[in-house]
A and B are shown apart, each in its own frame.
Chain A
């Protein structure tokens, strides 16, 4: 494997922080096909980790294991001190602490933007409705779309929808945010508005794990870049290391194709 076992933090900023996500030797099979082969990595509290790699390399599979949308078969995943197991209560707890943003937004089409955002705080966090609604207003303002609260998702542009999806996740006040290619389904002119929101979020100090091919974004805000291929972590490093002198041939090849 690589020069790095994935647990070293290559950035001073994060020295001494607590571990937020710890994966040890994680294996995942789809039938006979092994999608994750012994993934070992640690994400620190407040870290922004960008995961990249060619299509089919297991990026989505990995981050979906972290909030147990997929079940891993070998190894351990510990999120914020809670081990992921079949215990239903642990799963619910982790899911309310970990927000996820999908490539296809996955907003609830039958609910207004406001209701999309307040549903989980009211029913999972048991917040009073008024409080949840003022939080929603605040978040929409932060996302730059305060005037869309009463609309239905289908009436918004892709970029607006993705920002609503981010607001919906943030409304649960999660400690970790997972992004699975949040800009891949967007028209080019809308990518920037979503990335801007994400950059701001990164600076706010929340732990983020972002699967993306937006290398500009990675260069600007990532603490670490994790490169995967064939279900394995091939190389881990700071953006500087990653873009200027990657060690692995496979990384070089990937970068030459994407940059």
Chain B
């Protein structure tokens, strides 16, 4: 049976004269039906094409203008990526990137089933890009004439003196050749696979991706991109040679990791290890942001003595003693005593915070958080009374919660390399990505919990979540960030330090969770009453009902909003600049223009930054469309 094509199924909804999507039309028919169906559409199409060409011309003239100083970007590439992350520690950045590459390769190997790209399709890409090259060469205005000293020549009236159109076209011979080569190559492949028996030839997507990346890496060794760097205040520009060894070697290793681990992953396909490898690679993805955060940011001189003498024993103590307590609280013969204990604990935990506020008695913040968690778990305990398996669930949940919380708290307490006042500081795209990924990852579970709380049938949960969400939504992000970076350290009891970045991450996560909760709530409300009843009638517990029935359906409905939220979280990281962090945009906007070599050169960097932002967000958005289509299958 042929695969159901969702596009075909959806086409025609709300359309009167449906364009025949999903059906193969010849180029001419397609143009006819979609762009030139009547004279009005034809005029619109022509106007649109004209506007697009004008814009392209503007971009080309801007990019290739003699006034552009692309050297400012070239020499500052590293600054844009990681700002002044210390050179001596740089290997840690590569370790982190390498880990992600390896994991990506592994996951692609064990999961990916991307199918193939038809060769014919690729030939159209080649011809298309060749055509685009040619178009760009034609559109760009003739270059300005420079005199022997490299100065622009002006006419008597003062306007710039440009070469003739003919001279411009012949000057750009290299581009013409590139365009012709691409078009010829594409056409040759097209002709080759027009033979009936080759019509369906295709190449695996993985092959295309890996060889494409491989060619890029290879070009680092062969193509004289030039060696540009800005290190220790000196400006290096050596055109006509390949990039520095410290650039091409790591990227080669990265590519090898990606490619190698792909084969490792693939060798586990369809073996009995498949399940385990899939599970562990998913798990690694989940924890890698935290772990890599640690790899990149922690101080090289970590106080292991403190970790061993205080942090570790404390985590263990809470884990074990809390576990024993919870085990006791889930005994079926306990009765009201359990509830009383839980309420007592809650009182104690709340008192700890109040005491801290008045500076009454010192205690590590971690202990306060842990006591609060013990109390909450004890309140939950009655739900787990019953068989041993059920009680064990609670204990396991408790132990993992403790492991996570204590790990995170320890990490936050650790002095980091990224002391903002120092000159050795992570910034740029590295910082932007870190903040975005961690905020999205942490705010997701929190947001889902808040949404569940807001739709819960228990008034107390509903009230707490609603007021949290409404308060946060009433406050601009920027003030939340300022509050957390400036005010929170003042409230912290003695002996507790929170790295500024950690404070900001906390604030941003709490902020983002409130919005996420609202998006998820919209999805949850679309789950019909019948679904709850069916789950109840089958005897599922409330937690199972939520996990298996309500959340999957609710989250699926909220995918578009959730992706929108991810994208805006990513973009709004640029607000970090206001509280003194050096995010990606700030490097382009204020760090580079302040360098004496590139005084005031902003536009180039900002254009690059915009392009990179666009690349990431466009990818996310495309991916989400695929995801929506895939999970939408069951909906019809």
Contacts and interface: CB of A to CB of B under 8 A. Distances in A.
A110 B634 contact: yes
A255 B544 CA distance: 44
A107 B531 CA distance: 7
Contact of B530 (A96, A104, A110): A104
Contact of A172 (B531, B538, B544, B552): B538
B539 A95 contact: yes
Contacts of A111: 634
Contacts of A112: 634
Given A100-B537, A155-B636, A109 B530 contact: no
A102 interface: yes
Interface in B482-534: 528, 530-531, 533-534
B634 A102 contact: no
B538 A168 contact: yes
B541 interface: yes
Nearest to B530: A106
B590 to A, nearest CB: 48
Nearest to A155: B636
Given A109-B635, A154-B634, A154-B635, A123 B537 contact: no
Contacts of A69: 533, 536-537
Given A95-B538, A152-B634, A172-B539, A102 B548 contact: no
B432 interface: no
Interface of B: 386, 389, 528, 530-531, 533-541, 544, 548-549, 552-553, 556, 631, 633-636
A100 B635 CA distance: 23
Contacts of A109: 553, 634-635
Contacts of A172: 538-539
Given A108-B535, A119-B538, 14 more contacts: A95-B539, A96-B538, A108-B534, A108-B549, A110-B631, A110-B635, A112-B634, A123-B540, A124-B538, A124-B539, A126-B389, A152-B636, A155-B636, A172-B539
A6 interface: no
A124 B545 CA distance: 11
A67 interface: yes
Interface in A74-127: 89, 92, 95-96, 98-100, 102, 104, 106-112, 119-120, 123-124, 126
Contact of A123 (B536, B544, B552, B556): B544
Nearest to A97: B539
Contacts of A119: 538, 540, 548
A110 B534 CA distance: 14
B475 to A, nearest CB: 36
Contacts of B530: 102, 104, 106
B634 A124 contact: no
A153 interface: yes
Contacts of A104: 530
A119 B531 CA distance: 14
Interface in A183-225: none
Interface in A45-62: none
A69 B534 CA distance: 10
Contact of B531 (A98, A106, A155): A106
20 contacts: A67-B536, A69-B536, A69-B537, A89-B386, A95-B536, A96-B539, A102-B533, A106-B531, A106-B534, A107-B534, A108-B534, A108-B549, A108-B553, A120-B538, A123-B548, A124-B539, A152-B636, A155-B636, A168-B538, A172-B538
Interface of A: 67, 69, 89, 92, 95-96, 98-100, 102, 104, 106-112, 119-120, 123-124, 126, 152-155, 168-169, 172
Nearest to B544: A123
Nearest to A94: B539
A67 B537 contact: yes
* Cβ-closest 4 pairs across A and B: A96-B539, A152-B634, A106-B534, A95-B539
A168 to B, nearest CB: 7
A98 B536 CA distance: 11
A99 B539 CA distance: 9
B380 to A, nearest CB: 14
A110 B544 contact: no
Nearest to B389: A126
A172 B386 CA distance: 20
Contacts of B389: 126
B545 to A, nearest CB: 10
B158 to A, nearest CB: 69
Nearest to B4: A155
A111 to B, nearest CB: 7
Contacts of B552: 110
Contacts of A98: 537
B362 to A, nearest CB: 42
Select the residue from A67, A110, A126, A153 with max chain B CB neighbours within 10 A.
Answer: A110
Given A67-B537, A92-B539, A154 B631 contact: no
Nearest to B634: A152
Nearest to A98: B537
Contacts of A155: 636
A169 B537 CA distance: 9
A168 B631 CA distance: 22
Nearest to A96: B539
Nearest to B529: A106
Contacts of B541: 92
A89 B635 CA distance: 34
Contacts of A110: 552-553, 556, 631, 634-635
Given A102-B530, A108-B534, A120 B553 contact: no
A69 to B, nearest CB: 5
B531 A108 contact: yes
B636 A95 contact: no
B89 to A, nearest CB: 46
Nearest to A100: B537
A155 B537 CA distance: 24
A166 to B, nearest CB: 12
B339 to A, nearest CB: 14
Contacts of B635: 109-110, 152, 154
A152 B4 CA distance: 13
A99 B540 contact: no
Contacts of B537: 67, 69, 95, 98-100, 102, 169
A194 to B, nearest CB: 17
A126 B540 CA distance: 11
Nearest to B538: A120
A164 to B, nearest CB: 12
A27 B474 CA distance: 47
A100 B538 CA distance: 8
A123 B548 CA distance: 10
A104 B553 CA distance: 17
Contacts of A102: 530, 533-534, 537
B438 to A, nearest CB: 29
A119 B530 CA distance: 17
A99 B534 CA distance: 10
A170 to B, nearest CB: 11
Contacts of B556: 110
Given A108-B531, A109-B634, A169 B538 contact: yes
Contacts of B535: 108
A123 B540 CA distance: 7
A120 B533 CA distance: 13
Select the residue from B389, B540, B634, B636 with max chain A CB neighbours within 10 A.
Answer: B634
A176 to B, nearest CB: 12
Contacts of A123: 540, 544, 548
